[in-house]
Amino acid sequence: MRAAKLAVLLGALVLAPLFVSDHFILSILIAALMFGVFGAIYDLMVGYCGLTNFGYAGFIAAGSYASALGASFMGVNPWVGLLVGGILCMALGFFTGLIALRVKGLYLGLLTWFVGETIRLTIANSTEITRGMLGLTVMPFPDLLGIDFSRANLHAYYYALLVIGTAIVLACWWLVNSNAGRAFKAIRDDELAAESLGLSATKYKLINFSIASFFTGIVGAFYAHYIGILSPSPTEFGVSRTIEVLTVTYLGGRGTLFGPIFSGFLIVGFQEALRGIGAWRLILFGALLISVMLFFPRGLATLKKWLW
Amino acid sequence: MDFSLLLDPSILLELLAQGLVRGSMYALMAVGLSLIFGILNVVNFAHGELFMIGAYVMYFVVASLGFPILAGIAAAAVVLFVVGMLIERVLIDPLRRRSGRGWLLDAFVLTIGLTVVFQNLATELVGSRRQGLVEMIPGSLDIMGISLSYDRLVILAATLVVGAGVWLFVRYTPLGKAIRATGQDAEAARALGISVRQIYMITFGIGASLAGISGALLITIFPAYPTVGMLPAMKSFAVVVLGGLGNLPGAIVGGFLLGIIEAFAVFFLAAGWQHVLTAALVVLVLVIRPQGLFAVQGARP
């Protein structure tokens, strides 16, 4: 049953863009898919291991800039850059975890928030390399396997992201159902009890945080070459972006992994559909997060038994 | 970077003065955040937006309606007191009473949502134009070769008055004592007949009111616009972490400390890097001394 549902979900994601030729709608589909994947990665941390990363956007920035700067200064092929972004972000996540994972809950949230801001502000101020707020122009992906990856061909970008995203989400799924995943959940539910069973909480948290950062870096690098211009503003790589990803995860339901994929499409879709009402759509967005916290702490998963 | 400049006493004095003025601003911003955390354990991410509302109230009362400055500050205090109490009773209190594991994190995320609502509500209702006052009291004081505008001195004085006022209030008044008792041990306070729910609501109101007062007082530096609260919020969090989460005197000292550090950083580093330094400093303190720089022995982490 589970596999059948997954096949339906994947089928819908594969088929959706075939009916779309409009550039704008395609870019919305890409944004929705990207938020869905970010949300799923975020869920790996917060939903399965209780790790609250409020500096998430800073980690996305690290992946994005690693690949973008690698491509423009060292001629790194952007496809290799995906890996460069992933590995740099993983190193960053590993070291952050090493110092940060001793503190818990709110303290971890505050700490990661300022780690994220440190990353973003460092990028913003290193103007000789990153051009700071002026924005860094990033080359598109080169053609691969004879497929045209110029930015006019958004279908190619959508399917490339779908392949990457599917691989990441399936890897997350495998991970949370492995022994390590059981350890994550044990630590999330009761760290003391888990440790008394001989699980090293720090070790598993570090594994979780590093892997999530690795995936974040890959998608971040993809984002850089897709979007074509990066600037370290608060809306792009600061608190606002973290809030968006966090909302996707919380609305999708923490600890569901696939919930964020749905909520990514829901949130991005509604935000675009409601563009006509101006700032009200963001007011609704904030109110949505508040009402999830107040009334539906399990997010869309509350509806799951009726709908899916 | 030329550290030999530090040997010049006039430069040193100038930087210290700038740091004190800057620090008084940070301390003023952070007091409310610190109070709310200290008593309710809730980290209020929307702190900057309460600051923003305070700035708008100040602008409308003083610039649009033509009332004196003090009336603007009082209005900001009252409006935010009510807003704060409403936030606590309508949004935070239900979460607390559901009281699942990790509800404090849920409350934090909820206030994140509140941030988004307030910022965009302001955009929708008053637009994103910057609306500020040029100066509250014209002129400046020249002393020992340093020039400090009266506005900055007012802020410095206000910080000391507000800091001392809050401290005296929680220390000596019956309500203040009830607030402290609730913060120390809510169950014991309840057993002594204190209405803990009401204390939480009032405390959140006072904290919000302090945020509003700081927004009103700092309007010459931070004109009112929808996202004006983001920088003050970040600095407030930095101050509160430096001073120790929930440690009121620590927040005041932490504010001045951060101000002085930044004044020196602005002087010696390229513009903008002082923000990096602040963020990195906060990370460092959270890692090495999560209880804050000024916590007494045995204080909670």
pLDDT attached to residue A124: 85
Overall residue count recorded for chain B in this entry: 301
Asked, for residue B13, whether it belongs to a domain, the answer is no
Mutation pick from A114, A267, A291 vs chain B, by most beta carbons of B within 10 Å, is A114
- Asked if residue A163 is part of any domain, the answer here is yes
Residue A85: helix, strand or coil by DSSP? helix
Q: Spell out the long-range contacts of B175-179 with Cβ–Cβ below 8 A and sequence spacing 24 or more.
A: B175/B202, B179/B39, B179/B203
Query: Position A73: which residue type?
Result: F
**B23 within 8 A of B255, measured Cβ to Cβ:** yes
Position B298 in a domain:
no
Residue B131: beta bridge partners?
B224
In a domain, B127, yes or no: yes
Instruction: Write out chain B residues lying below 8 Å of A109, CB-based.
Output: 43, 105, 108
pLDDT tens per residue across span B58-89: 999 988 888 888 888 999 999 999 999 999 99
Q: Supply A103's token pair.
A: 């503190």
In a domain, B75, yes or no: yes
Closest-CA residue of A relative to B285 is A111
Assess if residue A299 is contained within a domain: no
As beta bridge partners, residue B143 has B146
Rounded Cα distance, B288 and B284, in Å: 6
Which residues lie across from A147 on neighbouring strands?
A144
Cβ partners under 8 Å of residue B178, min gap 6:
B189, B194, B199
**Is A264 within 8 Å of A32 (Cβ atoms)?**
yes
**Cα end-to-end span (Å), chain B:** 37
Q: Could you give the CA distance from residue B233 to residue B30 in angstroms, rounded to a whole number?
A: 8
The two three-digit tokens of residue B237, written as one number: 């969090």
Q: Is residue B58 one of the residues assigned to a domain?
A: yes
Distance separating alpha carbons of residues A236 and B269, to the nearest angstrom: 26
Chain B residue with Cα closest to A289 = B113
Tokens of B27: 């301390």
Overall number of domains in chain A:
1
Residue A282: list chain B partners with CB under 8 A. Answer: 116, 119-120
Residue A248 maps to a domain = no
Structural tokens at position A231: 């600037």
Provide the ipTM.
Answer: 0.81
**Between A and B, how many residue pairs show a Cβ–Cβ distance under 8 A?**
117
Q: What does the CA dihedral A116, A122, A127, A129 come to, rounded to 10 degrees?
A: -90
Q: Angle A107-A111-A112 (CA atoms, 0-180°, nearest 5)? A: 120
* Spatial separation of the C-alpha atoms in residues A61 and A80, rounded to whole Å: 17
> Is residue A257 within 8 Å of A29, Cβ to Cβ?
no
Judge whether A113 is closer than 8 Å to chain B, CB to CB: yes
Residue A53 lies in a domain: yes
Give me the domain span that covers residue B116: 27-229
Q: Is the pTM above the cut of 0.90?
A: no
308 residues of chain A, pLDDT tens digit each:
667 777 777 777 777 777 777 778 888 888 889 999 999 999 998 888 888 888 899 999 999 998 888 887 887 788 888 888 899 999 999 988 888 777 777 788 888 888 898 888 888 887 777 787 777 777 777 777 777 777 777 788 888 888 999 899 989 888 888 887 788 888 887 777 877 777 777 888 888 889 999 999 999 999 998 988 888 887 788 888 888 898 889 888 888 888 888 888 888 888 877 777 777 888 888 888 888 888 877 777 777 666 65
Angstrom distance (rounded) from CA B49 to CA B119: 7
User: B300 lies in a domain?
Assistant: no
Domain coverage including residue A52: 24-242
Which three-class secondary structure state does DSSP give residue A137? strand
What is the C-alpha to C-alpha distance for residues B58 and B80, in angstroms, rounded to an integer?
11
| A7-17 pLDDT per residue, tens | 777 777 777 77
Q: B-contacting residues of A 238-277, CB under 8 Å?
A: 239, 243, 246-247, 250
> Is the distance from CB of B252 to CB of B31 less than 8 angstroms?
yes
| Cβ contacts of B95 on chain A, cutoff 8 Å | 293-294
Structural domains of chain B, count: 1
Measured CA to CA, the distance from residue A207 to residue A94 in angstroms comes to 8
Structure token digits, residue B16: 């210290």
